[in-house]
Structure 1
Amino acid sequence: MDSSRADTSERLFSYGTLQLEAVQRQTFGRKLEGAADQLVGYGQTMLQITDPAVLATSGKSHHPMVASTGNPADRVDGTVFAITHAELMHADAYEVADYRRDSVLLASGVRAWVYVDARSPAS
Structure 2
Amino acid sequence: MNDDVWLFSYGTLQQEGVQIATFGRLLEGCADALPGYATVPFEITDPEVIATSGKKFHTMASPSGNPADEVPGVVFRITPAELAAADTYEVSDYKRISVRLKSGLEAFVYVGA
Q: TM-score, structure 2 length as denominator? A: 0.97
The answer to whether the 8 Å contact 1:8/1:83 transfers is no
1:43 is aligned to 2:47:
no
The runs of 5 or more residues in structure 2 that have no matched partner are none
Residue 70 of structure 1 and its aligned partner are, at CA, apart by: 2.5
Cα displacement string for residues 82-122 of structure 1 (whole angstroms, at most 9, x for unaligned residues) = 0000000000000001000000000000000000000xxxx
CA distance in 2, matches of 1:115, 1:17: 11
CA distance in 2, matches of 1:102, 1:58: 22
Structure 2 SS opposite 1:108: coil
Which residue, 59, 68, 74 being the options, matches 1:64? 59
Q: Which residue of 2 aligns with 1:11?
A: 6
CA distance in 1, matches of 2:8, 2:27: 12
Which residue, 16, 41, 64 being the options, matches 1:21? 16
CA distance in 2, matches of 1:50, 1:68: 23
CA distance in 1, matches of 2:30, 2:71: 14
Residue 7 of structure 1 and its aligned partner are, at CA, apart by: 4.2
CA distance in 1, matches of 2:54, 2:10: 16
Q: Which residue of 2 aligns with 1:77?
A: 72
The answer to whether the 8 Å contact 1:8/1:82 transfers is no
Structure 2 SS opposite 1:91: helix
Cα displacement string for residues 28-72 of structure 1 (whole angstroms, at most 9, x for unaligned residues) = 000000000000000100110110100110000100100112311
Q: Segments of 4+ in structure 1 off by > 6 A?
A: none
In percent, how many aligned pairs have the same letter? 59
The runs of 5 or more residues in structure 1 that have no matched partner are 1-5, 119-123
